[in-house]
A and B are shown apart, each in its own frame.
Chain A
């Protein structure tokens, strides 16, 4: 029986280019040589079996050198003082809602039928076969501290490192100075900062394998438990008789728990929308939660080879044209078990849409609870959320891997499907009022975003940084030609007013940060140009300065007074990575950015992709805390603590945690978050919370998680 199973499993396995003796082929030989070359070059660095170096493949010999655009004297325009765009429905934007349910059904059927293929909606946007378990990404912003009840004074404390002030992002830990609330390993824990003890704990559903995040306001919290399969619902519909078996989308849902923190933590209410959790933002007590769902339509799959591809597609189109409205309309389940559907009147669509994905925004007022979540739905795809106090932007980075393979058929035989042009679609919602957000419109730009930091709404304009990969296939060396641009769009129409392009030819964006009318972009393949962009004139954004350095920054943080902190990896001039680096840049002269100071830890693996929430900068004392990765689960995590002065960066030391309990494969090892409360640095890992003196890093307390 075991052999039987092996046979079927093997039959289900996609073939890859590695399966035909790759390691002993010329391609394998080249890879082995590259590995040896890297090892030889690394030989001079100190050996620490403890740490591991990340290495890049051997690349092109010469770095591309970029011509710096010099700002003409007097050429920079004063900042625009345009009045903020009207947030009611602007006249020149087509607000497209369906006129009626019948109108909506006709529109969805037509657009979805045009998107369907011989196997249904496989690999399409929003269809169930999209990877259902998108991990929660870094959402970063510095939120204002939560206002305290009168008569109380909590110590000064840090908050989640968010992108936009006043807009909180879900994270695994929140504090108001008196109390720390954290979710990890399937439990919500409350820690009292005065007694340094865990005062409350609540086991969350899901057995600890679901990623969870928190949003807290006052004594209320929303726990966001991310997508998991809805075991109560059959994933596919069996067909009648012995006919063709049907394939349907995978029912995925996420669950949001309203928690009361005024006493021992307890669940007050919950809501489970069908669809994938995308992200959420909170302003004050109001949370906007974004969920993506696909149409629930079943397609036959096994037809004994009687139909051609074209015939299957035609048959599937007919199925789509007969599907009921309920197939598309998103639903959510209340704590009482009642299922609710978004009404047609709350569904809008951009001019062009595929019908294969619906984005629903639920509005949750923490004080009022989950009785009325006012969902609004947009027939569009999305995976990146960016919020300001007035607007919610949802962007979709087309996952072109869903349909195409860049380097030829790496998986399976057959012709290589053509890759669609990369573009990013952006949808904007007005969230100034309480209750449901208003859909304002959509726009698109070429290329793909890195993350939410690629977007920035300022002074009536939306700046977007994207990278475009050129060509329809890979270059022989395996790389993709690419370049990056920043587009400026009018926020009310989302029409492009100007752009500056050709940043970092042959490179990709590694970090972006917009600070007021300026933008900073880091591209990298071997060396790291840090570009300074002047975005004052929306019709003519331009590059004013460039700094070429070895290594790169993966995260940029404004440090005030014309300085920027960069965290990433150092590398040699051939682009081979050589350890964690933290830099302090002086960007006060936009034509001549330069580095003031740098700390390199050649004994630590660099941060290839820093989660902004894991970064801490406390301006009052200049303290910077950066996590240091640990590869081995048996060793506890560490963070590096530095101090920023006017012109320098000094290492204060390291804070370490003991090794945590081994849980189900959880690669969020190490110290995940750092906070400042009063005069101490509080660090959080799955093992517990450590309190250290901010000035000396001396141990003050250790709060283990049982």
Chain B
């Protein structure tokens, strides 16, 4: 694969998927680190262009995850997803939204890191199940099972927290069970 082809691919991938990879990182770390890492992801994509599958979005997310894990390893922290959610909830101005976000942040905090990953990857970045499975380095069927279990657990926590009925968090709980 010559350089011209690589550059063209890189441009196409960046334009199509750069937003989502950056959003993924902004949900988990500070803006400076997110900016650094999104660049690293695409530099790596350029270097390995021949080996990157088409469409590359699962691979891009998997790479972003690895870079983030390696960055956090030295700092004794895992990602700051729950903190971001809590901040976001605290800034909501409409009470329904605030309540939904708080409920989500709180119950997500009670789940394992793996559950959090699978739940956010499934809904927030426009990934198909196949792409999300690739992002998590697991098979699509394993992903399906994990997603189902994570949803049940989240619904369980929401219910035991009293979120049922007509309020937004209650509706989320119902939808998760469904």
Q: A: which residues have CB within 8 A of B?
A: 1-2, 4-19, 21-24, 28, 31-32, 34-36, 38-39, 42-43, 47, 49, 52-57, 117-119, 122-123, 128-138, 209, 228-229, 234-239, 242, 245-248, 250-251, 301-305, 383-384, 399, 401-403, 405-407, 410-414, 451, 474, 478-480, 554, 608-611, 629, 631, 633, 662, 664-665, 667-668
Q: Is B100 an interface residue (CB 8 A)?
A: yes
With A13-B124, A131-B79: A234-B73 Cβ-Cβ less than 8 Å: no
- Tally of B interface residues using CB under 8 Å: 105
Pairwise interchain contact A28-B18, C-beta atoms closer than 8 A: yes
5 residue pairs of the A-B complex, CB under 8 angstroms, read A11-B168, A49-B47, A247-B103, A301-B99, A610-B74
B88–A14 CB distance below 8 A = yes
Cβ-defined contact, A304 with B46, below 8 A: no
Query: Do A245 and B123 have beta carbons less than 8 Å apart?
Result: no
| Residue among B32, B161, B168 making CB contact with A474, cutoff 8 Å | B32
Contacts of B39 in A (CB 8 A): 31, 34-35, 38, 55, 57
Contact A302 B104 (CB under 8 A): no
User: In the complex, A405 Cα to B44 Cα: how many Å?
Assistant: 28
A124 to chain B, nearest CB (A): 10
Task: State whether A245 and B163 are in contact (beta carbons under 8 Å apart), knowing that A5-B175, A301-B102 are contacts in the complex.
Answer: yes
Using known A-B contacts A22-B19, A414-B91, A609-B71, determine if residue A407 contacts B32 with beta carbons closer than 8 Å. yes
A505 to B32, CA, bound (A): 18
State whether A128 and B171 are in contact (beta carbons under 8 Å apart), knowing that A4-B178, A235-B160, A608-B74 are contacts in the complex: no
Q: How long is the Cα–Cα vector from A407 to B67 in the complex, in angstroms?
A: 21
Chain A CB within 10 A, most for which of B19, B34, B86: B86
Check B19 against A23 for contact (C-beta < 8 Å).
yes
Which residue of the partner chain B has the closest CB to A12? B104
CB <8 Å contact, A133 and B10: no
Kindly state the separation between the CA atoms of A62 and B78 in the bound complex, as whole angstroms. Answer: 34
User: Contacts A411-B87, A479-B32; is A35 near B114 (CB within 8 Å)?
Assistant: no
B75 and A137 form a contact (CB under 8 A): yes
Closest to B50 in A: A49
On whether the beta carbons of B71 and A129 are closer than 8 Å, the reply is no
Q: Which residues of B contact A128 (CB under 8 A)?
A: 106, 109
Given contacts A1-B178, A12-B101, A130-B82, 7 further A-B pairs with CB under 8 A are: A8-B171, A31-B14, A31-B18, A119-B98, A137-B74, A245-B162, A248-B106
* B19→A250 contact, CB < 8 A: no
Judge whether A5 and B124 touch: CB under 8 Å: no
Determine which of A17, A35, A403 lies in contact with B43 in the assembled complex, contact meaning CB atoms within 8 Å: A35
- The answer, among B26, B160, B165, for a CB contact under 8 Å with A16, is B26
| A405, A407, A412 — most chain B CB neighbours (10 Å) | A412
Known contacts A8-B171, A11-B97, A123-B87; decide if A23 and B106 are in contact (CB<8 Å).
no
Known contacts A9-B124, A250-B109, A664-B114: A39-B43 contact under CB 8 Å: yes
Contacts of A15 in B (CB 8 A): 88
Given contacts A8-B100, A238-B161, contact A19 B23 (CB under 8 A): yes
Q: In the bound complex, do residue B73 and residue A667 qualify as a contact, i.e. CB atoms below 8 Å apart?
A: yes
Instruction: Using A39-B46, A209-B114, A399-B83 as known contacts, say yes or no to A665 and B137 having CB atoms under 8 A apart.
Output: yes
Indicate which residue in B88, B90, B98, B111 contacts A229 across the interface (CB closer than 8 Å). B111
Q: Assess whether B5 is interfacial by the CB under 8 Å rule.
A: no
CA distance A53 to B39 in the complex (A): 12
Q: What is the distance, in angstroms, from B172's C-beta to the closest C-beta of chain A?
A: 4
| B-chain residues with CB within 8 Å of residue A22 when the two chains form the complex | 18-19, 22
Report B59-95 residues with CB < 8 Å from chain A CB: 63, 65-67, 69-95
Query: With the chains together, A134 CA to B109 CA distance in Å?
Result: 12
Which of B6, B35, B94, B160 lies in contact with A234, CB distance below 8 A? B160
- Chain A residues contacting B17 (CB-CB under 8 Å) are 23
| B residues in contact with A16, CB < 8 Å | 22-23, 26-27
- In the complex, are the beta carbons of B76 and A134 less than 8 A apart? yes
